[in-house]
Structure 1
Amino acid sequence: MKAFNRILVTAALPYANGPVHIGHLAGCYLPSDIFVRFQRAKKADIKFVCGSDEHGVPITIRAMKEGVTPQQVVDKYHTVIKESLADMGISFDIFSRTSNQTHHETASDFFTKLYNKGLFEEKLTEQFFDEKTNTFLADRYITGTCPVCSNPNAYGDQCERCGSSLSPEQLINPRSTLSDAVPVKKQTKHWYFPLQQYEPWLKEWIIEGHKEWKNNVYGQCKSWLDSGLQSRAMTRDSNWGIKVPLPDAEGKVLYVWFDAPIGYISATKELTPDWADYWCKDDTRLVHFIGKDNIVFHCIIFPAMLKAHGGFVLPDNVPANEFLNIESEKVSTSRNWAVWVHDYIKDFPDQQDVLRYVLCANAPETKDNDFTWKEFQDRNNSELVSIFGNFVNRTFVLMHKLCNGKVPVLHADVTDEKETQLVSEFAATAAKVDQLLEQYKFRDALFEVIDLARKGNKFMQDREPWILARKLAEQPELQKQIDNCLHVCLQLTANLAILINPFLPFTAKKMLHMMKVVEKMLDWENAGKAKLLSVGYSLRAPELLFRKIDDAEITAQVEKLRAG
């Protein structure tokens, strides 16, 4: 395995024409944050970059419908998105935006470098044109019937019903989204990137060189490559976006999928003067977290662009997730069939970790998964409250009641095999969680942590220190067994705080407060240790980590969703 000296993590740039929903969170923002928090705990040299994607046709369409400028649209949603993700604890080192000057310069320079190398093909083609509005109709300016699934409202670049990637010419009965007029064909010039020239290299790099990638990612890449790649236009007819830096390109901008991934580079430039260390040194581990609809752009188009430019590292992994459906239906922003992050924060204040937990436990890592409010309630009540929270709470309550609120001594003369076995689980679980997180298996890693809490509950239930306490008057020697039980459970609690921190950072912080320890205890090197809390140390009174969610709250959320 290749040795890396630094890590650069990117999360897909959210599109600034609307707020973010829980499908976005589950798709890339939560898994990337878990991975980054884990690596930070391991003291890795790591940067976590993201930002809003602020160009492209949907933004101009929304601006026209709302009677505002595209800049007003992106300013509004950049703020909404940034605040929503911050509220959920997504801990970017920078959240930039593609309307920034640094990005415009970086994307223009990138295009110019490829142009000066003679890599673009200039083509005169006929494209659909709306005579009513005097506008070329690229991508989402045009709709029609999908030739694959007969969806009457497919876009000129993609059918959202069946997921097929389309071109406007493939649509049946095309019409303009601006005026509903039937478009005509008109000649226009664009600059095409010859993807087919990079097909042999991409096959070697992905098919032979990255067999460890997730099956869904590897399979989609193989399908694209087996079908054969074609030149792809990297410019569009529009006045909103990054101007094509050529003298004969009036009214042309860079294609949003040319400019958006370069946003990772420009965001890193804004973050640190040492940006080139993260983009140009081959001992950098570059990881792109995305949803499955962006696989082709991050695994084929952007790497080919980087290869063509030269001097940049290529992604080591692209752990894309599948889609998260809501109550058995696909998310639809037009029908308001979504759970919006800013609404969740309002409806469930201070319960970010409940959503983080449920979305990770039910993450669409290998296939589309379904979010239901009933499962949200069940996982909270039966796993967070009854297993994890219950164990921590009982441990602290009993420690205050039976050990004067201090970490008791571990008495070697009464230590038995079950105690030793449970203590050995600390390091074993830490090792498993470490391995799973390095492999981007976030669900499995989370379940290992919960299973450790479950083992703690069983150990305490078997020991019944509250029963032993009733016999102390006649058998004072039983205090040693009580001490041992609670000593082990407290050290287990400290381990749980370390292990749960990448997943549930707000909860880990509460646990630190209860244990009266500094944040440094969460360093990953401490995971698995059996003596994290000193004997005789006074701990604070317990505070409930989670609360039960009742049926009325869930009914209200389902009704709100169905109301649209």
Structure 2
Amino acid sequence: MARERLMVMSPAPTANGDLHLGHVAGPFLAADVCTRYARATGHDAMFGTGMHFTQNYIVTAARRLGTSPEELRLRSADEVAATLAALGIGVDAFGCVDDRFVKMVLNFYDRLHRDGKLRLKAVPFPYLPSTGEYLTDSYVRGGCPYCLADGCAGLCENCAHPVLPGELIDPRSTADPAAPVELRDVDVLVLPLEEYREELVAYFDRIRPTMRPRLARLIDDMLSRPLADFPVTQPISWGIPAPFAETPGQVIYADLEGMPWSMYCTATAAESRGAVLGDDDELWHADSGTRVVYFLGLDASFPFAVVGVAMLLAHGGYLLPEQWITNEFYELDNEKFSTSRGHVVSGRELAAEVPRDLIRFYLSATGPEFQRTNFTRAALTKVAGTRLVEPWNRVVSKVDEIVGLGALPVSERSRSAAGRMVAQFTAAFELPGFSLAAAAFALVEQLARLDRWPVGSDDAGDFCHEVEVFLRCAAPILIDLAAKALPDTAIPLRPDAVEVVPARLPRLTGAGS
């Protein structure tokens, strides 16, 4: 393709409930802001996410809630789409399971299988003799063999290492914790990750400067020992049926659908913006000109950044993602968000009570980029009020006194100051150094500077000019304020206005209590 595209991805959440603020403050808001900034600076950017319909967490959540898995996943998809819209998170492709997606998953793995990239191997799985079921992911809990934390099989939420079901310490059924469990070997298809060690090491060495510290440490730890063969199929019934003769009755492992899902989202996002594609995976061809960046929780890094990249290498001819922007957990009142315990704040519910610009600002300022951070409603009210609403409204009052004076000159000093302001925001928004926290810091500091400005008759034009540049820089976060105040949200790289006509600006309302 002749024109470069930026594809921004956030791995789909499991379809077992709505998004809470922990999800939003992690990858979703950041991905939205990144996409908005890229478009504001003239790039062709797309954002894709969706729902993960095939994880067996849907089965266990439906059992707990007294509903069917199918009803739960459809309801969850509607709730998540509504929450994203309520917070102004614009998605070009909202991927869920449909015939096209299933076809892409099966084609992706059939080609690996046909090319001899998958191996049949006996792998131990916890087995429940009382029901005759094998236990994977949400069906089984036990101790993590790396950090000892208690959790389900699959991916350890505590240390982010992959945990095969047979590796759990003292595994127990989540449906019947007292029932005896034994280990049994099952022939499944695996991807021999160690065969791609050299290429993986080279890849991660190349992108190391873009990785946040915990991801870099996690990758180093994983690569410090032989990489385990990782199952591609599992001996359970929930999921996309595996079409391979060697594994009758098995399904494709849901955690390994990430790369074909990404291709699905990229294709549907491009099509929603008018592209006509020859192949579903066209934008992932190495010569397509596409740049791919992921925003994701650290605990999702392994299936995407390690196994996913290994699969792309196994196929050959595909581009590799240029960056993985990870986040830690966002807590609620100093405890982990927990849907099962009802310890959550829904993004939709909060947006019904608080202007979403204030939510986006506060989550940007307190998001868990490098360590766990905390949300409280009281802090949202105080921080958004004192650092955003009150200073902005004082700035508006100053502009109101200038409106009606006609065109006012803008000095070279102001053009230079505006350029430095743009540079501060650019440093926060540009890849690979993207940081919502840094953008929120720049927003607060520049707004405080405008608030302190003792505007006089000789610098009124400068003041209004810098207020407009500030709004353009803050627009990826303060979407509603920018939409009301600006004719467009393009961000000039060298603000070079020689005059400005002051216009009335909207005020912000508070977060309440």
TM-score, normalised by the number of residues in structure 2: 0.91
Offset of residue 233 of structure 1: 0.6
Offset of residue 309 of structure 1: 1.1
- Matched with 2:500 is 533
Contact 1:243 1:254 in 2 (8 A): yes
2:284 matches 1:279 = yes
Q: Deviations 1:503-552 (Å, cap 9, x if unpaired)?
A: 1111111222xxxxx22xx2123762334734xx7x34x432232x45xx
- Matched with 1:87 is 86
Amino acid at match of 2:509: F
Offset of residue 148 of structure 1: 6.2
Distance (whole Å) between structure 2 residues aligned to residue 160 and residue 427 of structure 1: 42
Secondary structure (helix, strand or coil) at the match of 1:525 reads coil
- Matched with 1:239 is 237
2:388 matches 1:384 = yes
- Matched with 2:163 is 166
Offset of residue 279 of structure 1: 1.3
Distance (whole Å) between structure 2 residues aligned to residue 156 and residue 133 of structure 1: 19
1:298 to 304, 309, 322: 304
- Matched with 1:326 is 332
Distance (whole Å) between structure 2 residues aligned to residue 150 and residue 315 of structure 1: 31
Identity of aligned residues (%): 24
Rate the CA distance shift 1:172–1:525 in 2: closer, same or farther, 3 A. Answer: closer
Distance (whole Å) between structure 1 residues aligned to residue 116 and residue 140 of structure 2: 31
Distance (whole Å) between structure 2 residues aligned to residue 209 and residue 268 of structure 1: 22
Contact 2:160 2:301 in 1 (8 A): no
Offset of residue 203 of structure 1: 0.8
Distance (whole Å) between structure 2 residues aligned to residue 126 and residue 441 of structure 1: 42
Distance (whole Å) between structure 2 residues aligned to residue 451 and residue 356 of structure 1: 17
Distance (whole Å) between structure 2 residues aligned to residue 213 and residue 68 of structure 1: 41
Contact 1:16 1:73 in 2 (8 A): yes
Secondary structure (helix, strand or coil) at the match of 1:319 reads strand
Q: Give the number of the structure whose residues are more often helix, by fraction.
A: 1
- Matched with 1:373 is 377
Q: Deviations 1:28-85 (Å, cap 9, x if unpaired)?
A: 1111111110110112122211111111111111233344332211101001001101
Rate the CA distance shift 1:138–1:12 in 2: closer, same or farther, 3 A. Answer: same
Gaps of 5+ in 2: none
Offset of residue 321 of structure 1: 1.5
Offset of residue 406 of structure 1: 4.3
Contact 1:495 1:529 in 2 (8 A): no
Contact 1:123 1:191 in 2 (8 A): yes
Amino acid at match of 2:445: D
Larger Rg: 1
1:395 to 398, 401, 407: 398
Offset of residue 146 of structure 1: 4.9
Offset of residue 187 of structure 1: 4.2
Contact 1:323 1:368 in 2 (8 A): yes
Amino acid at match of 1:19: D
- Matched with 1:262 is 260
- Matched with 2:425 is 433
2:491 matches 1:524 = yes
Distance (whole Å) between structure 1 residues aligned to residue 250 and residue 383 of structure 2: 51
Contact 1:193 1:233 in 2 (8 A): yes
- Matched with 1:507 is 481
Offset of residue 204 of structure 1: 1.3
- Matched with 2:366 is 362
Rate the CA distance shift 1:524–1:334 in 2: closer, same or farther, 3 A. Answer: same
Q: Give the number of the structure whose residues are more often strand, by fraction.
A: 2
Amino acid at match of 2:506: E
1:424 to 409, 413, 416: 416
Offset of residue 307 of structure 1: 0.8
Secondary structure (helix, strand or coil) at the match of 1:546 reads coil
5 Å matches for 1:212-251?
Answer: 212-251=210-249
Contact 1:495 1:527 in 2 (8 A): no
Rate the CA distance shift 1:172–1:302 in 2: closer, same or farther, 3 A. Answer: closer
2:152 to 155, 158, 182: 155
2:443 matches 1:452 = no
Secondary structure (helix, strand or coil) at the match of 1:524 reads coil
Matched residues, number: 501
Distance (whole Å) between structure 1 residues aligned to residue 165 and residue 307 of structure 2: 20
- Matched with 1:308 is 314
- Matched with 1:556 is none
Amino acid at match of 2:508: L
Distance (whole Å) between structure 2 residues aligned to residue 277 and residue 252 of structure 1: 29
2:509 matches 1:546 = yes
Amino acid at match of 1:289: F
- Matched with 2:468 is 494
- Matched with 1:56 is 55
Distance (whole Å) between structure 2 residues aligned to residue 4 and residue 212 of structure 1: 24
Amino acid at match of 1:366: F
Offset of residue 159 of structure 1: 4.9
CA RMSD of aligned residues (A): 2.4
Offset of residue 129 of structure 1: 2.0
2:20 matches 1:21 = yes
Rate the CA distance shift 1:317–1:387 in 2: closer, same or farther, 3 A. Answer: same
Rate the CA distance shift 1:532–1:259 in 2: closer, same or farther, 3 A. Answer: farther
- Matched with 1:559 is none
2:437 to 436, 439, 443: 443
Contact 2:141 2:172 in 1 (8 A): yes
Distance (whole Å) between structure 1 residues aligned to residue 147 and residue 194 of structure 2: 28
Q: Deviations 1:296-336 (Å, cap 9, x if unpaired)?
A: 22221101011111221101111111221222222222222
Q: Deviations 1:468-501 (Å, cap 9, x if unpaired)?
A: xxxxxxxxxxxxx2xx333222212211221111
Secondary structure (helix, strand or coil) at the match of 2:344 reads coil
Amino acid at match of 2:484: K
- Matched with 2:5 is 6
Amino acid at match of 1:64: R
- Matched with 1:73 is 72
Amino acid at match of 2:439: A
Distance (whole Å) between structure 2 residues aligned to residue 140 and residue 299 of structure 1: 22
Gaps of 5+ in 1: 413-418, 466-480, 513-517, 554-564
Distance (whole Å) between structure 1 residues aligned to residue 336 and residue 102 of structure 2: 35
Offset of residue 149 of structure 1: 6.3
Offset of residue 381 of structure 1: 1.3
Rate the CA distance shift 1:532–1:440 in 2: closer, same or farther, 3 A. Answer: farther
- Matched with 1:515 is none
TM-score, normalised by the number of residues in structure 1: 0.83
Q: Comparing 432-441 with 81-90, which one deviates more in the overlay?
A: 432-441
Distance (whole Å) between structure 2 residues aligned to residue 188 and residue 239 of structure 1: 14
Q: Comparing 3-12 with 43-52, which one deviates more in the overlay?
A: 3-12
Distance (whole Å) between structure 2 residues aligned to residue 298 and residue 21 of structure 1: 22
Distance (whole Å) between structure 1 residues aligned to residue 301 and residue 184 of structure 2: 32
